[in-house]
Structure 1
């Protein structure tokens, strides 16, 4: 295959500079020459200056060094993609004392580019393979260079390893090859069967099969990394899919398996919110290598004041979990003192920071970093934020009997000072045989105002014969406006009747089969559910899907589960798996308007209390309530209430901003033009137009564009209000440092070997790059022939200039100027 020739420029001056000089010179020549030909007849008046100017421009253009480049492919080329990890762990030097040692990413670049004494991998393959180089980290892989580009490889690989996470799966998946319209794809291990084509059996195949074999796509991706995967789906699963798409996965390990000497904060586990008069408790995960037996100081700071501290002396290397617990009432009071007069806060954002201090200088442990006690000073501290709720949350429990699940949930939240719980039990066998509707405690909410005072509702097996269409409309209104609904199904089939009649659009499941229920052997989160913070039953699980699933599988199983199927658009976060291996949804969820609905197909979570009391049961249900509810408005003044869905975001996330607007008399204003302003250092950096949510309540909401890292203050601007009247503001933080990338930075050889094995390839260490080269060479049965013609040194260029000058001389002679 021959590609269309291209023109490249090899001069010392940039092409644009030479072009500008040539055009200026041509214009000057034409202007000067035109004085002589101005009075001549056409075409001599303009043709003569044009010929002279063109000749001058071509002579000057020699400075650009134009080169006529041709590329021709003979046979079938193998495709090799080199994927270089650009995450922060690749900036390690694997050295404890030399300042001049190369980082992993520099060594990886050198393996591809080569040195004056030794050709790189790319140079040794470029004549027989189609080569591409990509970079990957936390985001999608980015193309860096290919051997079809005009840029040199060395120029394109000026890389900086700074990404805060590593998604190996995205790099592996980037190698999936598209099937050509007349080509055939197969796995690369069939390359090893190349010799089989010469057997008598192979020669007996049809000519069509031979043609298909000759067009077989042969490709490989080489993952150049230390192998630490901490973002996205499993790279092993991705490698299996890639291998099925005719691409082989090779891995090239960079660095040493030994962890460098380092101390740091790996993670701070904390709740999203806490009661203003309560205690904040959680876990700090500290990593340490090379500091065994030495005291490490831990502390949590608020406004540069230490609010908690502890000292540990680790006896083993790795990660250590340290629990913390302290009161927040004084912190809330100190934060509120800075609040502008006239502004009240329902939630206060506590800006905290966890710090570890080894008390040992880097020189004493042979480090090349100036940070005390570790190699990477950036993970010595980690900021985190928690919203302290000043207003009590309100929960409504609706059920038709006092079953065990209802009793334990009511007791759990009634004991929590941050909650106000109203329980309405009605129906046959209860103290309220017939439901009473109204706005008082113990009554079913009778109107939108009564139901809107609650943050979440737990709906149990209420009598369907006492449920009305007006009740269903109220529940829809409640959820669509941001309320949280939790449906806990039971054995009496009452929820089923509601789902099939009044609430078919709200409850996110359809019932399968008859009235029978099945025994559930165990509960297992799905892939989607395992990634949800709500599903973490222990603080130390750290969103590891495997550990999360293992913990769930050891829970006491439910004795029965309703057989349901998720509706379109709903997500299954957990299944029960029966003794015969059949799964059925246990936890199904779906967004409904601005709110969310959770459906549980069994009411057996109270069994988790066996021998553990509230350790798992209380943690899970508190996380369920936090996940299903919208946070309250955090700040209010006389005219506006303002809130965001979170106080802390990852870089690139969007913030949901909610506003309630009212006039001087307290009447809701639902027809104003409202904007949210994001302010940094008293400078407006973004404006978000809010749309009307509910005119009758004067509520508005809007979503920001993906946010850049930084600290922001959210302010409101509304038509009809002076800028000084709307004083309520709320802070948000974006891009809090994530130290997942630095938890372990040593080479994970086993992970890379598993990826290579799943991708039907091989693993190599950087010291064995020559062996990798030998594995890649057989992928290609063709070659690339490239040729360059130095146009500016060729006789063609010279003859063009001579032809222009000759034509000009002949025309001058004909015009009588010679």
Structure 2
């Protein structure tokens, strides 16, 4: 305690003496009869009241030290990935899973681990696999369902929730099976958070037989051998005999017996010769041997897309040019395309006099013997030899009405594909708007034809184009965006048209003068087939390569190869089509379902009522809700999480205006996330590095009771000094009034008032 107005001690003493003297003098001069004790009592009460008033004049202040140390947080992260299901630890004398041991440490009432931590810290529990999730307070156990383990992201996500607050560290209960990146130690060290790693599992490599890799081309061709290489690894089974099998629909299609050698790695080769087109799900497997820790890595599933050996393509152009030359060369170099490139002029024989075209009646095939195709096919039967037709910048009268009809039937009735290379002739006033080919175009040509703008310009992908097989020119979204950003510009564009209702724009031009983008690469479904329009000229510029990728650039041939392959894929005649973003998933992955609905003329339908039913491996059906994709007309999307291993069947049916659209179905295959079982032993080295580099500590779970005392406090206790004024406190008034009132009351009783 201190005084605001601190007098010298002698001044305080003098004041007390003066007050006592005056009070004593007054009572001693009083000539009323009273005992000596009573007189002393009255003097004392008066002096005490005066003393209280004197203290108030000095304004006393009470000084207090208050502990204001903020609470220190401690995060406890428990690994719930599927590798925690492995049984290589003991609990109560019995073999148990790693997660059983973690559950006992965290949730068993007999465990003192969490109570000990709670005495010193504010403890927050999280579970993690690919990312962290806070554990609700009512949780009594955890399940190992996570598909992958990402220690870096999990620690980062959990610690961000407590940014700006004191954090003593992270207690990490895991087997160290990090399989999401390679630089986990450096990334975690950058967080500057101490990691107290608790190792769960056996650090010794167990006996194990696994398929570590299957090498196969994702696309195969009918009636051609497909080489398949299966890599087998083993630990502790040298000299054992087993076999590697290849299966489809649970039927063995090939098997190779092997003897496991001292070399832990062996490669087994298979050869398939598919006879039918389609997407097939194969499974490579080896039997489970006695003593194996896990059977999860004894199988590997892989999809195989089988397509026709070669696609037949007919490219017809009105006159030679750069586009014709570059595209012809790209087609000739593609080993999977059998192309016929033709010049068909619309000029009269007199105008062509003296040229090669005049000699061959305006028609000259350049990549095929002329005896094989002496003229452009006149009938549908002749045209059906081809899978894709590319029509260049032709005039309306270059082909006959009979040939126009054959082309329309070729696409709409036979499910084939056509690509239009737009130009002044084909999209002009006297272009295709005057004949039957207009129904195949995804645009409506204005009465005066499309306008032509000659200037360099670049394309931007639409949202659909970013993911579409035609325009996805890179393996990652970042590379796709970089490629399209750096593509050489085109030289001429055509505009002024309107898109048809079922058209989809994949790439467009954004002008500074016009807020509405101009569609350039457009496709639509036409009857049973597909059509693609490129409303620009100058794609041949892409043949010179993309600046930042010149050393290994194949953008131009890749674009055309992807476009032709996708367009040649037959459109299903069903009015409901269902597919998924992948054919093979890991347990715990989210499956994206994409469904398409069409009306009776096979145009996209936006008013369909779709019902999607999923049948997992255990046979219990459930439905998922489909929502309309606002970016793609006639497209519907749904999703669900695949939590069971095995084959899922997805069935879609639909109704529009009380009329059934039919149904379609597809299958996906869900397998265990094999990355979790590549190295099933406890990764002690990783956990020790994490603890050492971050200033934490590594402890096996058997010694976890010693961990709390090793967790360092973040800082010393912090105290704040608080001052409380006492002179105006009610107790002071009560004391002063009490002393004076008591003195007055006693005097009154003796008649001294």
Residue 260 of structure 1, CA deviation: 1.2
Please tell me whether residue 256 in structure 1 is matched to residue 202 in structure 2: yes
* Number of aligned positions between the proteins: 528
Paired position in structure 2 for 1:93: 87
Paired position in structure 1 for 2:70: 76
Please tell me whether residue 131 in structure 1 is matched to residue 123 in structure 2: yes
Q: 1:222 aligns with which of 153, 171, 179?
A: 171
> Quick one: structure 1 residues 75 and 634, their matched pair in 2 at CA, closer, same or farther if it must change by over 3 Å?
same
Output the CA distance in 2 between the equivalents of 1:591 and 1:375: 54
> Quick one: structure 1 residues 311 and 693, their matched pair in 2 at CA, closer, same or farther if it must change by over 3 Å?
same
Residue 498 of structure 1, CA deviation: 4.6
Output the CA distance in 2 between the equivalents of 1:741 and 1:711: 22
Q: Deviations over 1:353-409 (max 9, x none)?
A: 222126x5x2xxxx3xxxxxx332344334444344469767899996599997885
3-state SS, counterpart of residue 84 of structure 1: strand
Kept after mapping to 2: 8 A contact 1:499/1:507: no
> Quick one: structure 1 residues 317 and 76, their matched pair in 2 at CA, closer, same or farther if it must change by over 3 Å?
farther
TM-score (norm 2): 0.54
Paired position in structure 2 for 1:737: 672
Output the CA distance in 1 between the equivalents of 2:650 and 2:75: 44
3-state SS, counterpart of residue 636 of structure 1: coil
Please tell me whether residue 326 in structure 1 is matched to residue 264 in structure 2: no
> Quick one: structure 1 residues 748 and 781, their matched pair in 2 at CA, closer, same or farther if it must change by over 3 Å?
same
Q: 1:144 aligns with which of 135, 148, 152?
A: 135
Q: 2:331 aligns with which of 410, 422, 425?
A: 410
Output the CA distance in 2 between the equivalents of 1:295 and 1:226: 31
Output the CA distance in 1 between the equivalents of 2:703 and 2:561: 51
> Quick one: structure 1 residues 231 and 655, their matched pair in 2 at CA, closer, same or farther if it must change by over 3 Å?
farther
Residue 263 of structure 1, CA deviation: 1.6
3-state SS, counterpart of residue 729 of structure 1: strand
Output the CA distance in 2 between the equivalents of 1:593 and 1:757: 58
Residue 479 of structure 1, CA deviation: 11
Q: Deviations over 1:459-501 (max 9, x none)?
A: 9xx9999998999x99xx9999xxxxxxxxxxxxxxx96534x
Paired position in structure 1 for 2:648: 711
Please tell me whether residue 702 in structure 1 is matched to residue 636 in structure 2: yes
> Quick one: structure 1 residues 760 and 325, their matched pair in 2 at CA, closer, same or farther if it must change by over 3 Å?
farther
Paired position in structure 2 for 1:375: 293
Output the CA distance in 1 between the equivalents of 2:169 and 2:271: 52
Kept after mapping to 2: 8 A contact 1:634/1:730: no
Q: Deviations over 1:25-82 (max 9, x none)?
A: xxxxxxxxxxxxxxxxxxxxxxxxxxxxxxxxxxxxxxxxxxxxxxx99623321111
Kept after mapping to 2: 8 A contact 1:80/1:129: yes
> Quick one: structure 1 residues 635 and 143, their matched pair in 2 at CA, closer, same or farther if it must change by over 3 Å?
same
Residue 226 of structure 1, CA deviation: 1.6
Unaligned runs of 5+ in 2: 1-65, 345-355, 365-375, 378-382, 384-388, 395-403, 444-453, 466-473, 490-505, 508-519, 525-531, 719-753
3-state SS, counterpart of residue 299 of structure 1: strand
Residue 772 of structure 1, CA deviation: 4.4
Residue 654 of structure 1, CA deviation: 1.2
3-state SS, counterpart of residue 357 of structure 1: coil
Paired residues for 1:234-383 under 5 Å: 235-236=184-185, 238-240=187-189, 242-243=191-192, 247-315=193-261, 320-329=266-275, 332=276, 348-357=278-287, 360=289, 362=290, 367=291, 374-383=292-301
Kept after mapping to 1: 8 A contact 2:608/2:656: yes
Output the CA distance in 2 between the equivalents of 1:655 and 1:591: 26
Residue 712 of structure 1, CA deviation: 2.0
Output the CA distance in 2 between the equivalents of 1:748 and 1:758: 16
Output the CA distance in 1 between the equivalents of 2:282 and 2:311: 23
Output the CA distance in 2 between the equivalents of 1:93 and 1:273: 39
Residue 127 of structure 1, CA deviation: 1.2
3-state SS, counterpart of residue 655 of structure 1: strand
Kept after mapping to 1: 8 A contact 2:80/2:143: yes
Paired residues for 1:403-482 under 5 Å: 410-411=331-332, 413=334, 415-416=335-336, 419=337, 421=339, 441=389, 443-444=391-392
Residue 85 of structure 1, CA deviation: 0.7
Output the CA distance in 2 between the equivalents of 1:316 and 1:767: 34
Residue 173 of structure 1, CA deviation: 1.4
Please tell me whether residue 499 in structure 1 is matched to residue 457 in structure 2: yes
Kept after mapping to 2: 8 A contact 1:394/1:455: no
Paired position in structure 1 for 2:545: 602
> Quick one: structure 1 residues 93 and 248, their matched pair in 2 at CA, closer, same or farther if it must change by over 3 Å?
same
Paired position in structure 2 for 1:688: 626
Output the CA distance in 1 between the equivalents of 2:559 and 2:92: 51
Paired position in structure 2 for 1:21: none
Output the CA distance in 2 between the equivalents of 1:764 and 1:425: 77
> Quick one: structure 1 residues 527 and 646, their matched pair in 2 at CA, closer, same or farther if it must change by over 3 Å?
closer
Kept after mapping to 1: 8 A contact 2:88/2:293: no
> Quick one: structure 1 residues 162 and 395, their matched pair in 2 at CA, closer, same or farther if it must change by over 3 Å?
farther
Residue 123 of structure 1, CA deviation: 2.6
Kept after mapping to 2: 8 A contact 1:396/1:454: no
Kept after mapping to 2: 8 A contact 1:236/1:755: yes
Output the CA distance in 1 between the equivalents of 2:328 and 2:684: 51
Kept after mapping to 2: 8 A contact 1:275/1:390: yes
Paired residues for 1:806-817 under 5 Å: none
Output the CA distance in 1 between the equivalents of 2:418 and 2:177: 40
Residue 237 of structure 1, CA deviation: 5.9
Q: 1:159 aligns with which of 138, 142, 147?
A: 142
Kept after mapping to 1: 8 A contact 2:416/2:568: no
Q: Deviations over 1:763-797 (max 9, x none)?
A: 444456466434413236459xxxxxxxxxxxxxx
Unaligned runs of 5+ in 1: 1-71, 186-215, 333-346, 368-373, 481-495, 510-524, 536-560, 565-569, 572-589, 610-616, 784-818
Output the CA distance in 1 between the equivalents of 2:561 and 2:195: 40
> Quick one: structure 1 residues 632 and 505, their matched pair in 2 at CA, closer, same or farther if it must change by over 3 Å?
closer
Paired position in structure 2 for 1:748: 683
> Quick one: structure 1 residues 295 and 656, their matched pair in 2 at CA, closer, same or farther if it must change by over 3 Å?
same
Residue 656 of structure 1, CA deviation: 1.3
Please identify the structure whose Cα radius of gyration is greater: 2
Paired position in structure 1 for 2:367: none
Output the CA distance in 1 between the equivalents of 2:639 and 2:309: 30
Kept after mapping to 1: 8 A contact 2:411/2:418: no
Output the CA distance in 1 between the equivalents of 2:666 and 2:135: 38
Paired position in structure 2 for 1:644: 579
Larger CA deviation: 123-132 vs 754-763: 754-763
Paired position in structure 2 for 1:173: 156
Q: Deviations over 1:252-311 (max 9, x none)?
A: 332233221122334545455544444444443434222233333111122443212223
Q: Deviations over 1:320-362 (max 9, x none)?
A: 5544320121xx4xxxxxxxxxxxxxx634343222126x5x2
Kept after mapping to 2: 8 A contact 1:137/1:165: yes
